[in-house]
Every structure is written in structure tokens, then in C-alpha cells.
Structure 1
Amino acid sequence: MPRKESELNEQLIDLLQGEKIVSLITTDKDTKKPNLSIVSWLVAHEDGKTIKFALGHKAESAFNIQENPNLILGVVGAGSCYSINGKGSVSEVIDKTMKYRVVTVEVESVEDVIFYGGKITQEPDYVKTYDEELAKKLDEEVYALLKS
């Protein structure tokens, strides 16, 4: 039976401290159909009710959230799969090494959505395929924004 909570538990807060592959589902501002993208610059705050993530300043997802703030974050980890429903608000463009927008999500519900009898035994992993120094600089810059 799926468990639905109103905020992130401690295990999810610990998991969502960046460098995770998280699905972002928004509503396309033009077609009104679901739109899927992936984010990894993401931080859950200790209150269990707030998640912040960064996008490029021209990301379609940012424009979708401005039009319709309802979104879902799909998380694989902490032994299961979770659907985090919330409302997002998009910052103005932040001009640093690159131009970003920060989305602040007010968590409305968290549901364990894995199929009956399923358990995640290994989390998705990835590598960055661009310049190592640039990746480090961008990560430091973005996480400073997300943790504030």
C-alpha cells in the first residue's frame, strides 16, 4: 500500500543533497501535456518542506513552472521510488559563470510509488562529460545558491 506523507522524511532529505538524477515533470505551457526533464543540481532543506533546484536560464521547465507551478519530482533512491508533488516558484535570472534560475518547491505530498514487493538496490549514477574544472566551479556556485 503506497504511503503518502506531507513532507520529506530524514532519509529523503539526506538523499537529496545534490548530484542525484531526479525526474522533473511539469505541464508544457503550450501543449498543456506533461513534460519530463532531468535535474541534478538539487538540494532538500532540513525543514522537509522545501526543495531548491537550478536550471539554465532558458530551460523550458522554468517557463512551464511560471505558467503552471504544479510539478512532480521523481526520485529513485533510499530503497524505493518517490513522487514528490509540490508548487514551484522561479527566480529571476542569476548571472554567474553561466545564467541560472533557481526553482523553490513547496512540498505538498511525498508518496512511495514503487510496485508491490519492489525495492531499489542500486541508485542511478552518472558522470559529467565536460571540463572537470568548469564542472567543479559550476557545482560550487550552484550549491551556494541552493543552500541559501
Structure 2
Amino acid sequence: MTTEKTLRPQLIELLQGEKIVFLITTDQESKQPHLSVISWVVAHPEGNIIKFAVGHKAASAKNIQSEPRITLGVIGAGSCYAIKGSAIVSDIIEKTMKLRIVTVTIDSVEDVIFYGGKITVEPEYVKTYNAALAATLDNEIYSLLRE
């Protein structure tokens, strides 16, 4: 297992949206780990910032406001990674849907796959709601994430 302070170019390229990413926060009430899955995720070119979007009422946003240390779990670029950092949640942004942008300053990036393991196929998903709405949301949200 290797640990780095920033994302390698392969991970920056991978994290340009439409990827399944696991978000681990600390539940503000129980103080237990809280897992959610996100896909509106963009790594910035320098490799030290990741931004993602969540709904304005998302439990993960409330958790981050209470405890900003988070972990993002990423499967891709041949391995599995735990990206740890401190997050800041934006005010509510009103677009086609109400959302919040979370900005993560990366503290560490660790390759966490088991010894001798290599990812050969990355997870995929499909959106099961209105295609026109999905395109509108993607355009709005990715323009915010790339700011």
C-alpha cells in the first residue's frame, strides 16, 4: 500500500464525473461511519482538490458540517483508493434542483487494494430517470464543479 499527498494524473483523469465514488462521513448524531454513493465528482487539475455535488438535504452534507473529515472510496485506475481530506459544504445553490457543492482539500491518497489484487473492470451504472433532466442536471452541476 502506498500513500501520497495528492492525486496521481491517472486518478485526476478518472475523477472527471460519471464515476461511482463512495463517500464516508461521520453521522452527526450517532458518531458512526455513514456511507453514501455519489457520482457528480470532479478532481481539479492540481490533484489536491476534489469537488462533488449532493442534494441540499443530503445527510452527508449535514454530517460534513458537523465533522469535516471525510474519506472518498474510489475503484478505478487499476486499484482501489481511500482519499482522505477535509471538506467544506457550500450554501444551498438553486438550479434545476437545490444542491450543495462540497469542496475537499486532500490530505492523503492511499492505494488500499489487498495484496496481489488489481481492478480489471470498473463499476458502471445507468441513470434511470428522464434523460433530458439528467442532461440538464449534469450540465449545470459539472459547470459548478469545474469552477
TM-score, with normalisation over the residues of structure 1? 0.99
Unaligned runs of 5+ residues in structure 1 are none
- What's 1:90 paired with? 89
> C-alpha separation between the residues in 1 aligned to 2:10 and 2:69?
24
> C-alpha separation between the residues in 2 aligned to 1:100 and 1:52?
13
> C-alpha separation between the residues in 2 aligned to 1:43 and 1:128?
18
> C-alpha separation between the residues in 1 aligned to 2:107 and 2:11?
15
The yes-or-no answer on 1:9 pairing with 2:8 is yes
- What's 2:78 paired with? 79
Give the letter aligned to residue 99 of structure 1. K
Deviation at 1:124, TM superposition (A): 0.2
Unaligned runs of 5+ residues in structure 2 are none
1:57-89 per-position Cα deviation (integer Å, ceiling 9, x unaligned): 000000000000000000000000000000000
- What's 1:39 paired with? 38
> C-alpha separation between the residues in 2 aligned to 1:78 and 1:134?
30
> C-alpha separation between the residues in 2 aligned to 1:56 and 1:46?
25
- What's 2:118 paired with? 119
Give the letter aligned to residue 142 of structure 2. Y
- What's 2:23 paired with? 24
1:76-119 per-position Cα deviation (integer Å, ceiling 9, x unaligned): 00000000000000000000000010000000000000000000
- What's 1:101 paired with? 100
- Stretches (4+) displaced over 2 A: none
RMSD over aligned CA atoms reads 0.2
- The alignment-based identity, stated in percent, is 63
The yes-or-no answer on 1:138 pairing with 2:130 is no
Number of equivalenced pairs: 147
